[in-house]
Amino acid sequence: MSKKSFNSGAGPSQRQLRVGELIRRTLSDVLNQGDVHDPDLNRMSITVGEVRTSPDLRVATVFVLPLGGEGRDAAIEALNRNRGELRRQLNRSLTLKHSPELRFAIDETFDRMDETRRLLESDEVQRDLEDGDDGAV
């Protein structure tokens, strides 16, 4: 069985996870230190939540969220405008065979957590949980 068919349908490889985390840390540092020469981007506080890389490590999707969740479109626009400079900063810090193309997307993890929390606290769910407290497993 070839390696390619073995990993098909599976999650990301250890290498993808490791490189994604290195990119996440590096981009977080670059954005926090204001190393990009764009005053609009430097005024924003942006959290880099996760980076997912393609299997060949040539594309990195960077999931970001501006502080407080406000100005999402402006943050994505500023990051896209400075994509080349951010990629050069990555090249200086990381030794990768290929510098990945950066794609930016809003990290919706917190929104999903808030929605899940809201659902769990709803009257219907609470009622169902109380009905299920009869000790049955």
Q: How confident is the model at residue 134 (pLDDT cuts 50, 70, 90)?
A: low
Collapse the DSSP code of 106 into the 3-class scheme (helix H, G, I; strand E, B; otherwise coil) and give the result. Answer: strand
pLDDT surpassing 60 at residue 5: no
Distance in angstroms (rounded) separating the CA atoms of residues 132 and 116: 20
pLDDT of the residue at 59: 95
Phi, psi of 82 (to 5 degrees): -105, 20
- Of the candidates 4, 68, 74, the one whose C-alpha atom is nearest the C-alpha of residue 39 is 74
Distance in angstroms (rounded) separating the CA atoms of residues 121 and 119: 5
Domains of the chain, CATH where assigned: 12-107 (3.30.300.20)
pTM greater than the 0.75 cutoff: no
Comparison of pLDDT for 72 and 5, the residue scoring more: 72
pLDDT surpassing 60 at residue 1: no
pLDDT of the residue at 114: 64
pLDDT surpassing 80 at residue 106: yes
| Encoded amino acid at 79, one letter | L
pLDDT surpassing 60 at residue 20: yes
Q: What is the pLDDT averaged over residues 96-102?
A: 88
pLDDT surpassing 90 at residue 96: no
